[in-house]
Structure 1
């Protein structure tokens, strides 16, 4: 019985040696099999990246102060150093606000326009207010004493009559789009001699 167990151990050891030898031969053969093929490609690194830029020193940009056309700086600053001072400044004192109010039964939108004389003080009557208005037209009638087109891109506010300090002229117009309205000309007049 002892002889058969030692023979079985020898057979197992021999079999183990054969397996170890064949696996190392297989590994060596597998290394040789790849010898005829190119190595696998590496994953792409992406496009080349530019080199980082050096930080630029801060640049001082001179400030530009906008002034009404036709005024030199000394006259403008002496006459109106701040927007809250008293005194008439003509077109600067006229503000135009407009907003969509409703849609007419025909489907055309309507717009409410308020033209305000924002000047404060006693001598703040402004007359002859002309506005850029393109080819202004309206589906509903606009009171011509409040707003009327004189020619292309020129409309007259309040029939050219003066607007006193704080006065508001309002009107409604209807069109498929709003017009951009901006003051082009406005003249300060003496409120005592201006017609009411």
Structure 2
């Protein structure tokens, strides 16, 4: 029994030393990433597929019960946990949860700008409060686009239109 107590105290001491060495920013970033993964895993289960029998062949098809709209485009964003020359960075993930591709995806984005270059083929401001995703091209079902931007505050981003 004393031997078990010794091992427990040694293990507990190692945990405390490890926890002290982890930066709080890294911990928050890891929690954020885990939450994103959990939410995206949940979204993947929302795809309703059914088998459609055509003649003798059975092929996978999409259920007609699912209506796709701009609400099928999900956006998640938050602090990345890092900075660019002291400016906070944010990560954005845009996911198509529709059972088919969506194109012409536009976001309300205020006067979006970034101290870090954002690939304009992924996300760009066309005019005040109008940003285009994926250069207007179709975003396939289940795919996620992501980018990071740097500014002093998090821009509120919301889907205004999409063609699915």
Instruction: Tell me if 1:181 matches 2:157.
Output: yes
User: Quick check: 103-112 or 138-147, which moved more?
Assistant: 103-112
Partner of residue 41, structure 2: none
Partner of residue 15, structure 1: none
- Structural mapping, 1:1-196, within 5 Å: 85=48, 86=63, 87-120=66-99, 124-188=100-164
Q: Which structure has the higher relative contact order (CA within 8 Å, separation 6+)?
A: 2
Does the 8 Å CA contact 2:82/2:88 hold for their aligned counterparts? yes
> Whose Rg is larger?
1
**Residues in 2 aligned to 1:149 and 1:105: alpha-carbon distance in whole angstroms:** 21
**Residues in 2 aligned to 1:105 and 1:155: alpha-carbon distance in whole angstroms:** 23
Gaps of 5+ in 1: 1-82, 189-196
Change in 2 beyond 3 A, CA 1:154/1:92: same
**Residues in 2 aligned to 1:136 and 1:184: alpha-carbon distance in whole angstroms:** 15
Scaled by the length of structure 2, the TM-score of the pair is 0.59
| Residue 84 (structure 1) shift | 6.2
| Residue 106 (structure 1) shift | 1.7
Gaps of 5+ in 2: 1-45, 49-62
| Residue 102 (structure 1) shift | 2.6
**Residues in 2 aligned to 1:105 and 1:84: alpha-carbon distance in whole angstroms:** 38
**Residues in 2 aligned to 1:164 and 1:105: alpha-carbon distance in whole angstroms:** 32
Stretches of 4+ moved more than 6 A in 1?
none
Provide the aligned length of Structure 1 versus Structure 2.
103
Does the 8 Å CA contact 2:73/2:95 hold for their aligned counterparts? yes
RMSD (Å) for aligned C-alpha atoms: 1.5
Scaled by the length of structure 1, the TM-score of the pair is 0.50
